[in-house]
């Protein structure tokens, strides 16, 4: 655990420094406020999706596996074996759209793979030892990280996202802390790249995006 914390802390420091360097070279960014706003909307949607998925993954596991004594294959785990990691990936992509040039998205994807792929494999080895053939069968049916499109289309929102479970852990706090951090970083980026920012406009953009996403989610939730 301590080793993981050290690695993550080092990576975070590198990312912060790298972001600062990017801000020095303003030509790397689209010099269009409209393009930046569109990126912001998509970035915030990914942050919300990632937060929802992490909340669902942690909450569902808490409700169905006390002390990890049973294998959880329902809820979000029907789509991906690692909903928490997928949620983190979506969160990261969201922040990349907010504060990095768009063309650096593949770089983040590669960094994420390098950092977490071995960790996921180690966890799978542990689960194989713990649950044997049951887990192997589960692995054959459900992908490690990215869900199959066919399964996503057939999935029922209510079965993947259970509100009671989602808000049963501390993970639910991130539903407002991540968007708040996104707002701060986006405002800072506009000051450094465009020479100024309009906090009211940015706040309205975030609120409208959040409300639209929530409405679409609730419509899907009610239908399913």
What is the per-residue pLDDT for 145?
Answer: 95
Arithmetic mean of pLDDT, 138-159: 92
Of 11-15, 73-77, 151-155, 191-195, give the lowest mean pLDDT range.
11-15
Q: Is the pTM of this model over 0.85?
A: yes
pLDDT above 90 coverage of the chain, percent: 63
Residue 95: pLDDT over 90: yes
pLDDT of residue 1: 53
Cα distance from N-terminal residue to C-terminal residue, the chain = 39
68 within 8 A of 77, measured Cβ to Cβ: no
Quote the tokens at residue 42: 């998509």
Q: Please, how many CA atoms are within 13 Å of residue 192, restricted to the half-sphere of its CB?
A: 19
Task: Answer whether 192's CB lies under 8 Å from 36's CB.
Answer: no
Residue 9 has pLDDT above 70, yes or no: no
Would you kindly state where each structural domain of the chain is located, as residue ranges?
Answer: 2-223
């Amino acid at each position: 655990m301590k080793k993981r914390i050290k690695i993550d802390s080092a990576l975070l420091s590198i990312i912060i420094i790298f972001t600062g360097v990017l801000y020095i070279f303003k030509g790397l960014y689209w010099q269009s406020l409209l393009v930046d706003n569109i990126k912001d909307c998509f970035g915030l949607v990914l942050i919300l999706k990632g937060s929802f998925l992490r909340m669902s993954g942690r909450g569902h596991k808490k409700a169905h596996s006390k002390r990890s004594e049973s294998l959880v294959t329902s809820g979000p785990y029907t789509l991906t074996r690692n909903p928490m990691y997928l949620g983190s990936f979506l969160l990261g992509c969201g922040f990349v759209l907010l504060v990095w040039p768009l063309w650096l998205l593949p770089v983040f994807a590669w960094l994420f793979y390098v950092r977490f792929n071995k960790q996921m494999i180690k966890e799978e080895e542990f689960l194989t030892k713990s649950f044997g053939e049951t887990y192997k069968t589960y692995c054959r049916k459900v992908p490690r990280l990215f869900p199959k499109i066919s399964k996503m289309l057939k999935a029922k929102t209510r079965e993947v996202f259970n509100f009671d479970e989602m808000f049963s852990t501390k993970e639910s706090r991130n539903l407002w802390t991540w968007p708040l951090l996104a707002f701060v970083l986006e405002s800072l980026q506009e000051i450094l790249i465009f020479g100024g920012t309009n906090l009211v406009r940015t706040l309205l953009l975030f609120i409208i995006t959040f409300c639209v996403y929530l409405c679409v989610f609730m419509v899907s939730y009610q239908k399913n």
